[in-house]
Structure 1
Amino acid sequence: MVALDIWYDQTPKDDERNVVICVNTAAERDALIARIEETSDNVAPPMIQVAHSGVKRTTALEVGLGKEKGFIGCTSRAEGGWTVGNGDADTTVDCIYMGNRSEVPVKVGVPMSTVCQGLHELLVSGARPSVVESDAS
């Protein structure tokens, strides 16, 4: 298993004022996703950023967590890409990351089970999830 750092909101998580949440197990990941999904009834679904804990210049994932659909985007130049759904390529949806609005193409939306599978793969192997397609950006 690979420890993951997750950025979700701007509220400090410890005495050193860090906002990162460290996830070491699948149970911790699932509990965090469940807590974040509770806010999915807001105007825009929440987005998190995920990276390997303690590793500089690691690949980071942008992850959207809607009620029914979400997405994963990989920011690495070598391994970059997005999940690919069946939404309109010319339409965007708003997401909220750390209090800021981001527009994401609707075409990257996939079932939440696919998003969870991708996060599980990252946690277990540390590699880019197989649900992220290189040519989808």
Structure 2
Amino acid sequence: RSFTKLEFLTIDVTCENEGIWRLDGLFKYYADVGKYVMSNEETSPNMLQNLKTVHIFGLVKAISAVEESCTVEEILGKYQYGFEFIRFLLKNSPALEMLMISATEDVDKLTKKSFEVLFRFASRLLALPRASPNALVIIKDN
């Protein structure tokens, strides 16, 4: 399958009931697909050649009361597949102009630990290599 005409990609991972919807499960699926595509790049070397804008809603959220007892690294581990998916998009989208991640909470309402998780996540994202020299990575609050 090819996505050569894809210019805009919007992903919404918000959900009312976190017990039913697991963020890591959703992105694990996409990361597994990404690994498959990456291993078969010879057959579709430019599949994301026209992708210009990616908007992900709900990836960044306030941490739960249960997560407050976890370390920042443990919490970041829950974002592993989302991070790998974003890495794949940045690495394989030569026309990308903007990747925007919208938080589910206003940044000024985050706890100290939530803010530290957001800061480390953002730092890692900004350090990722990009196929497009013009690609902006933006994390915005509600």
Q: What TM-score does the superposition give when structure 2 sets the normalisation length? A: 0.29
Larger Rg: 2
**Structure ranking higher in helix proportion:** 2
Bigger relative CO (Cα 8 Å, ≥ 6 apart): 2
Q: What TM-score does the superposition give when structure 1 sets the normalisation length? A: 0.29
